[in-house]
Chains A and B, each alone.
Chain A
């Protein structure tokens, strides 16, 4: 499988990258390439030009700043896996990155690519929804910050405008009493999820003060399960609340029948995984209290 021809650009600044994107409507951004290049090899994507972000400084790295965990869009998944900061304080993110594709792929695949490619099977979108993360984009009209809940508009589509480039992901800084978990059910290592569930909770005293619940690969985009969040918030995180949240999450899922299973099956898996993820998230939050 051989990709089609294209023009290649590797600008060294964002302005030039934006300009190239605007000048070439058929152009695509190249980050880690691990979603795009396979599609090009099958000629499912035939961009006339690629704008490679690799030479633009400042697009990768992980740091806490201004109340957020800031992750550069070009940060490799494996950097999250190896980051003490992520591993110790952001268990939902740590869980998520560990189950994306396989270990070798994670060495090149980028967090920004996983988000901006907006494949409903990608894992970061649900995680970012559960975190209530925001995304920084840079474009012809400057820089703006977009809430994760506004970002995903459809399968493989986002609210990014022509010429706009995702540069940074901001996850609310972990505080005492926060915890999260990602439960992914896949057929084998490297597979997209049959279903996956991201849960992030904030405890206040013995009660859940805030909750994020989002679902992977059971709809046209990652799905934020508001009713599941509502079932958790205000509760003590007991079994009844978890069951209610799990049922609500299953109801929020909108899966289709395919070779990974029937829609009914996937809804059932969402329910099970929500319970497991919430239970693990709560345990971690209690530990972090």
Chain B
């Protein structure tokens, strides 16, 4: 029954709240902080719609207690791009890597982390990398193309 004061930095802004121990991070982000770009698609840690970057790595925020994220840095879709568009966002729209948009925030955050670790992934590596995120609309082909496009854009940016 315990409640705890926690501070979580989301997209660079620190949020301090008193929370029940059982509050899931995804509900902290959506309900307490009001950032609704992070979605919920299942109850078995399967779909990845709730994926955020937790201290830089993709994590399913439905399977983290907010209290255990005390002191953590979280990036959500709202924190991508810093005002402009992140290359991953650009890639997803250019290559039609989204349809209903529901899995998209999680898919983009996973893709961002994938590209930071492997700037030039093969199709197989991309498919492997996003295999913890379900999409029901796109059939993944255009998501692969979107990540490849983002990879090009990131290279252009770093060359430029």
Contacts and interface: CB of A to CB of B under 8 A. Distances in A.
In the complex, A touching B (Cβ < 8 A): yes
B85 to A, nearest CB: 23
Interface string B5-49: 000000000000000111010000000000000000001111010
Interface residues of B, number: 31
Given A103-B129, A104-B132, A38 B58 contact: no
A38 B21 contact: no
B99 interface: no
Interface in A1-56: 1-8, 10, 30, 33-34, 37-38, 40-42, 50, 52, 54
B63 A5 contact: no
Given A104-B133, A190-B131, A6 B1 contact: yes
Contact of B22 (A3, A54, A78, A108): A3
A41 B25 CA distance: 13
A102 interface: yes
Interface residues of A, number: 30
A164 to B, nearest CB: 22
Given A8-B2, A37-B65, A190-B131, A105 B45 contact: yes
A2 B22 contact: yes
B21 A105 contact: no
A103 B111 CA distance: 11
Contacts of B21: 5-8, 50
In this complex, which of B44, B63, B65 has the most chain A Cβ atoms within 10 angstroms of its Cβ? Answer: B63
B57 A105 contact: no
Given A8-B2, A34-B45, A38-B63, A103 B131 contact: yes
Contact of B24 (A3, A30, A52, A108): A3
Contacts of A1: 43
Interface string B96-124: 00000000000000100000000000000
Contact of B132 (A37, A54, A105): A105
Contacts of A52: 68
A10 B43 contact: no
B68 A33 contact: yes
A33 B62 CA distance: 11
B68 A105 contact: no
B63 to A, nearest CB: 5
A75 to B, nearest CB: 14
A101 interface: yes
In this complex, which of A42, A52, A103 has the most chain B Cβ atoms within 10 angstroms of its Cβ? Answer: A103
Interface majority SS (helix, strand, loop, mixed), chain A: loop
Contacts of B155: none
A198 B5 CA distance: 45
Contacts of A6: 1-2, 21-22
Contacts of B22: 2-6, 40
A8 B57 contact: no
B63 A54 contact: no
B63 A37 contact: yes
A107 interface: yes
Given A52-B68, A104-B60, A105-B45, A5 B20 contact: yes
18 contacts: A4-B22, A5-B20, A7-B2, A8-B4, A10-B67, A30-B68, A34-B63, A38-B43, A40-B22, A41-B43, A50-B65, A52-B68, A102-B48, A102-B132, A103-B58, A105-B45, A189-B132, A190-B132
- Which 8 A-B pairs give the minimum distances between C-beta atoms? A102-B132, A8-B21, A104-B132, A1-B43, A189-B131, A107-B57, A7-B2, A104-B58
Interface of B: 1-2, 4, 20-22, 24, 43-46, 48, 51, 54, 57-60, 62-65, 67-68, 110, 128-133
